[in-house]
Amino acid sequence: MTLIILWLIQDLLTVFSGGGMQIPGLFILGIVYKLLIDSGSDSAKGLTAIWCAFAGGILWDLRWVGIPGFFTLGYVTVVIIVIQVWALIPPQGRISGTGWLVFLLMEFSQLIPPLLPVLILGGSAGWVFFIRQQANSLPAILLTMYIYSRKVKNSQKV
């Protein structure tokens, strides 16, 4: 339910900006956050995350891009990278000392999806929108990092 709300907020912000401002990918950021918080090695969680990313990407492509597959490929790629990288870290090491890794994984969630259309279609105008999107996504990443660190601290106290 949270992912649906994030997708709708991202969509409404895009509508209200009128295309003049690049909105951060709140939906994929939510998926990455859920993958990092639910750090179990259950493969069903990873499969569910992949299908959620696929469905959200298809909806986003049909709503805004018009060509299915650009953001879908980016979303699914991000989820697979996060699952694989996070699986390399032992469960004991996921709690302490992974702040930079969590930041990088969240940054990749904002880097890969908007970069794929620019690389595939090309054009100098795409790079301007890509740079704007990266600048606008930094506050969302930092807020998610703050929420993540609070959640990890609260889970350590228990």
- pTM for this entry: 0.88
pLDDT attached to residue 115: 84
Query: Cβ(35)–Cβ(83) under 8 Å?
Result: yes
Helices (H), 19-123: 26-37, 43-60, 70-88, 99-121
pLDDT attached to residue 6: 93
pLDDT attached to residue 99: 81
Matching residue, tokens 């990278």? 81
* Token couple for 73: 């490929």
pLDDT attached to residue 125: 67
C-alpha distances out from residue 86 to 62, 65, 129, Å = 30, 30, 30
> Exposed, middle or buried by CB within 10 Å (0-12, 13-18, 19+), for 129?
middle
* Token couple for 44: 């069903």
Measured at the CA of 22, the angle between CA 103 and CA 55, to 5 degrees, comes to 75
* Token couple for 114: 């908007």
Per-residue pLDDT tens digits for 15-37:
888 766 678 889 999 999 999 88
Q: What is the pLDDT along the chain (158 residues), one digit of tens a residue?
A: 889 999 999 989 888 887 666 788 899 999 999 998 876 556 788 899 999 999 999 998 898 877 788 889 999 999 999 999 988 888 777 776 578 888 999 999 999 888 877 777 776 767 777 888 889 899 999 999 999 988 888 877 76
